[in-house]
Amino acid sequence: MDFIGIASTWMLFFAAGWLFLARKIMKDHESRAFLVQTLFSATFMVSCSMFSLVLFEVLDVLSHDARWWAWKFDLITVTVVLIFLLPYSFFYLVFRNMEWPWQQSVYLACALLAMYLWVFYTITNSLPIVGQSGSFVVMGISRLGVLGVTAMAITSGFGAVNNPRNSLTYFLTPVSEQDLQILEKRLMKTMEMICSKKKLILMTRNELQKKGQGVKAGGGGWKDKVGGFLQSVTGASDDKSSRQNLQILKQEVQGMEELSSQLFEELHDMRLAKDKFLSKTIAGMLLNYMGYIFSAYCVYKMMMASINIIFNRVSQVDPVTRALSIAFLAVQGIQDMDVEPVVQSISFVLVGVLIATSIRSFLQIWLKIFHLQNATYSIHYSNMLILFMAWMMGMYFVSSVLLMRMNLPLMYRKAITDVLGDIQFKFYHQWFDFIFILVDIALHFLQ
């Protein structure tokens, strides 16, 4: 019965990843690579499965042995997929897109995979991430966790500095209607230039096709042959020049499409900034107050990260649980009440919310990146971007599980520790704080 439940969750997550890729990411493409879609769905499946197993540990769903075997399957699968299958498929597509034969692409992809594995092992070998008794899976998860935690710390540090500037009206620059009109005119002018150059590309292609058909349609007489020969000699340079101009026009259109995407994003951001600045409604004021709360949390996070680095410590309780405990104890008449079950229940809900928001925010970010790049890249490069997205998704969720362990009560940490093996969890929190502070300092100097 437990096996049926676990298999059902795997099938559900795999189908969700398949549908998300087909209907959200690659909905505009009629042809999709089956292998790429399978690898993405498998990565999505094991990533969500690890998060669900964290909730199963907390809620005591399924038996202990069933959860243990599910953990082992997920860890082995995510290790093999992230370290071997996704990089190899990415390298193979690189050479295939360069129009290499598939046999040579297979061998060259193997060579690049070997080089990647050497770099992957070397850059993390000197870090104290695993003990002496680590297995292959533990060594793989620990090294993937380093890369994932680094990416999470960079994005978190950027958000801690950038989000208060974007959410508080104090930091917002007033946007006038004239600024919006100027940017709209630039966008419309760029779109008009793109349309005119695309028309010119079609005219050039039609002209080249007509010339080719005219030469083939020539008669068999000696006058026609001599005329065709003279036309081929005099028109060869013209055809070559036309083809060169065609390539130049394609490059110009590609650059203008990228510019139009940037202008559209900038115009959208300016409209949002204007709406925030002029918002005097209750909802607008509430969002502004939420911005202050979030800013205070960002300041608290930076202070605690600095303290953890200076005193070489790791917080044993997440800030939300600590704040709830203090709030319950501060209420009059509740001192004799056992607040631990209440705080644990709220903490469980927050862990579930954290898991859901992590998955949602990650998919939204990469969906935005994909559609921004998809304006200029073909289906082949889109497949490469999807493989890279799946690789980042797997590392992100692996590192999230490693860091989320600290948000769980002590009685539930042991089960996850036993499954993940001899991994030095303290290092990942210290590494996160270190990268987080470096990014904050760098952004403060750059802005």
Residue at a domain's end among 278, 306, 339 = 278
Q: What is the pLDDT of residue 376?
A: 46
Both 321 and 334 in a single domain? yes
Q: 210 and 132 in one domain?
A: no
- 70 closest CA partner among 19, 8, 17: 8
Domain end marker among 224, 258, 278 = 278
Per the CB < 8 A criterion, the answer to whether 104 and 398 are in contact is no
- CA atoms of 165 and 170, how far apart (whole Å): 8
User: What total number of domains does the chain contain?
Assistant: 2
Q: Are residues 211 and 100 in the same domain?
A: no
Please state the pTM of the whole predicted model: 0.67
Burial of 210 (0-12, 13-18, 19+ CB in 10 A): exposed
Give, for all 447 residues of the chain, the pLDDT tens digit. Answer: 678 888 999 999 999 989 888 877 766 555 567 888 899 999 999 988 988 888 787 777 788 888 888 888 998 999 999 999 999 999 998 888 787 888 898 999 999 999 999 988 887 777 776 655 567 788 888 888 888 888 878 777 776 666 666 666 655 566 667 777 888 888 888 888 888 888 888 888 888 777 666 555 555 555 555 555 455 555 555 666 777 787 888 878 877 877 777 777 777 777 766 665 555 556 566 666 766 776 776 777 778 778 888 877 766 565 666 666 666 666 645 555 555 555 555 555 555 555 555 555 555 666 666 555 554 455 556 788 888 888 888 888 888 888 777 666 667 777 777 777 767 777 888 888 888 888 878 877 776
The verdict on 389 and 324 lying in the same domain is yes
Instruction: Show which of 278, 304, 320 is a domain's final residue.
Output: 278
Quick one: 386 and 297 in the same domain? Answer: yes
What is the C-alpha to C-alpha distance for residues 237 and 369, in angstroms, rounded to an integer?
Answer: 42
Q: How far apart are CA 284 and CA 155, in angstroms?
A: 26
pLDDT at 168: 62
Same domain for 312 and 274:
no
Domain that holds residue 135: 2-169+282-446
339 shares its domain with 354: yes
